[in-house]
Structure 1
C-alpha cells in the first residue's frame, strides 16, 4: 500500500458523514507505518474504545470505513478466528466489527459485520511481521502471496456488502 496522508484518509470514508470523517482520530505515526507490508491501514480510536477505522485501495481509489465493536471482555480461554486472515486469538483478539452501510441504507441504521483481528494487523500476521499473543496461524500450503490475495478477497466481499 502507498503511504497515506491525513487528507487522503479523511476523504476516503464511505460510511460516515464528512463531519464525522473530519472529527475522527487519525494515527499520529503515519510516517512510521510499514506501508510496504500493509494491504490496508487499520487503527483503533484511542478516544473511543469501541471504534476502529480501516482504509484500503480498491479499483485505484481509497475506501475508508468506520467500524464499531463491542467493548465487553471475553474470557482468555475463548478462542476466535479472524475472517480476513484466518489468525486465531484468545479472548478479545478477534471482535465482531460492524460497519454502517453506505448511503441511504446506512442512514436508516442498516449495518454489516465481520469477525476481524481487533488490532487490524492482518497483513502483518500473514507476513509474519507480527505474532499473535498466545494465538496462532495454521500452517497452510498456500504461499504468503496467496494468503494475502485471500485476505484481500475477503475484505472486498465485506466492502461489497456495504454498498448492497
Structure 2
C-alpha cells in the first residue's frame, strides 16, 4: 500500500459525514507504519475502542470505511474463530464482529454490513507471517504468501463492495 497522509485518509471515508471523518482518531505515527507490507490500513480508534476504521486502495483512489464493534456478541474464550478477510484463526477475542453503515441513502436509514475480522485489523501482517496470534494458532496451507495476500484482498474487496454498493448520493 502506498503511504497516505492524514488528509487523504480523512477524505477517503464513504460511509460517514465529513465531521465524523474529521473527529476520527488516527493511528499514531502514520509515517512509521509498515506501508509496503500493508494491503489496507486498519485501526481501532485510540480514544473510542468501539470504533474502528479501514482504508484500502481501490481504482479511483483510497476508500475509507468507518466501523463499529458490534455489542453484546457472545464469544467463547475456549474456541477459535476465523477472520473473514485473511482467514487467520484466533482464539478467544482475537476476532471481532465489525459493522459498517452502508454508503449513501441506505446507510442513513441504518442499513449496515458486518464482517468478522481480526480484532486488531492487522490482517496484512498475519497473512505474511509477520504477526502471530495470541494462541499461536496457524493453519498450514499450500498457498504461497502472494496467493494468501490476493485472497485476503479479494475478501476485503467483497466486503467493501457491499458497503459502497449504494454510493450514489452518499452524504459526506
Aligned to 1:82: 83
Alignment RMSD: 1.3
Runs (5+) with no aligned partner, structure 2: 166-172
Please give the per-residue CA displacement for 1:54-104, whole angstroms capped at 9, x wherever unaligned: 001001410000011135573421311001111111111001111000000
Work out whether residues 88 and 135 of structure 1, in 8 Å CA contact, stay in contact via their aligned partners in 2: no
Q: Does 2:12 align with 1:3?
A: no
Secondary structure of residue in 2 paired with 1:95: strand
Deviates more, 1:76-85 or 1:63-72: 63-72
TM-score (norm 2): 0.91
TM-score (norm 1): 0.95
Work out whether residues 27 and 46 of structure 2, in 8 Å CA contact, stay in contact via their aligned partners in 1: no
Runs (5+) with no aligned partner, structure 1: none
Work out whether residues 14 and 103 of structure 2, in 8 Å CA contact, stay in contact via their aligned partners in 1: yes
Aligned to 1:50: 50
Alignment map for 1:93-112 (pairs within 5 Å)? 93-112=94-113
Q: Quick one: distance in 1 between partners of 2:99 and 2:6?
A: 23
Higher relative contact order (CA 8 A, sep 6+): 2
Q: Quick one: distance in 2 between partners of 1:33 and 1:162?
A: 26
Work out whether residues 15 and 65 of structure 2, in 8 Å CA contact, stay in contact via their aligned partners in 1: yes
Alignment map for 1:31-70 (pairs within 5 Å)? 31-70=31-70
For residue 136 of structure 1, report the CA deviation from its aligned partner: 2.1
Q: How many residues align?
A: 164
Work out whether residues 56 and 63 of structure 2, in 8 Å CA contact, stay in contact via their aligned partners in 1: yes
Secondary structure of residue in 2 paired with 1:49: strand
